[in-house]
Amino acid sequence: MRFAVRLLRYRGRVIPWREVVNRAPAIGEMRIEETRDDELRRYVRTAKLFPLDGLPRTPFALPQLHDVRVIGMSQQAFTLAGVERVDTVEYAQSWLVSSA
C-alpha cells in the first residue's frame, strides 16, 4: 500500500503547520517491525519507508523511526511518533501518514 509521509519535526523541533502541508510528502511503502538495535543493545519497534519500485536506495528520503508508537488515528490519516537517528544524534520525530 502506498503511503504519503509528512515530517512534523526537524531535529526535534516542531515544524509550523503551514510548512508541513506545503512540503511535498515522501511517498513509498511503509514497514513497521521489531528489529535489533546494536547501539541501544535491545529490540526496538521501527517504521521505515521504502521506495515504490522496491529497489534499495541509500539514503532514502526519511531516516527510520525508532521506538515508534501510534499517537492518533482518523479515517484520513494517522500520526506516528518516535526517535530518528541522524549522524549518531537522536531527535524526537513525528510522521503524519496518509494514503497516497
pLDDT tens over the chain, length 100 residues: 899 999 999 999 999 999 999 999 999 999 999 999 998 899 999 999 988 876 665 556 788 999 999 999 999 999 999 999 998 899 999 999 999 8
Domain count, the chain: 1
Domain around 84: 2-99
- Count Cα neighbours of 65 within 13 Å in the Cβ-side half-sphere: 28
Alpha carbon distances (Å) from 3 to 30, 69, 82, 87, 90:
7, 17, 18, 26, 24
Whole-angstrom Cα Rg for the chain: 13
**Dihedral pair phi/psi, residue 22, rounded to 5°:** -85, -20
